[in-house]
């Protein structure tokens, strides 16, 4: 693997007989050769393994009301710090974030977002929770 701090190895893949690797993280089961990404654009084959390329990066942050999330009775009326990355395995045409979720530009993953900095931001913004969306 490259010495990139944003790349975290995963165990959710297996090698295929033809030399490709198959991502087993979702039901799409993308079959990839080195340097190729799956439908989600998040998983990439590198050195014979599948690695997520979005760890520690986000395409945007905002404070939302918790009621906007699909959570029933979870901290009612509280604010939540929302963040997300480019890439998605669903490809829904009606998605409110279609331009981000279907982006194939690595620059869309511009902002750094370590767990520690997210926790500090949530506290500073008086958010009771953090949501990955």
Q: Please state the rounded mean pLDDT for residues 105-124.
A: 81
Give DSSP secondary structure letters for 34-55.
TT-B-TTSSEEEETTEEEES-T
Please report the pLDDT score of residue 1 as a whole number.
Answer: 47
- In sequence order, what are the residues at sequence separation of 6 or more whose Cβ sits closer than 8 angstroms to the Cβ of residue 70? none
Tell me the Cα Rg of the chain.
16
- Specify the higher pLDDT residue, 36 or 94: 36
Q: For residue range 40-62, list pLDDT tens digits in order.
A: 888 899 989 999 887 777 877 89
CB 118 within 8 A of CB 81: yes
Q: For residue range 82-92, list pLDDT tens digits in order.
A: 988 777 888 77
Q: Please state the rounded mean pLDDT for residues 67-71.
A: 83
């Amino acid at each position: 693997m490259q010495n990139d701090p944003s790349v975290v190895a995963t165990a959710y893949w297996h090698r295929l007989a033809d030399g490709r690797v198959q991502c087993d993280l979702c039901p799409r089961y993308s079959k990839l050769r080195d340097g190729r990404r799956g439908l989600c654009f998040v998983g990439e084959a590198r050195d014979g393994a599948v690695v997520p390329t979005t760890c520690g990066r986000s395409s945007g942050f905002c404070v939302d009301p918790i009621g906007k999330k699909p959570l029933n009775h979870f901290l009612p009326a509280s604010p939540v710090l929302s963040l997300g990355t480019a890439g998605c395995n669903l490809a829904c045409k009606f998605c409110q974030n279609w331009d981000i979720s279907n982006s194939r530009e690595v620059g869309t993953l511009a902002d750094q977002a370590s767990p520690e900095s997210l926790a500090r931001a949530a506290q500073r913004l008086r958010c009771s929770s953090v949501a990955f969306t």
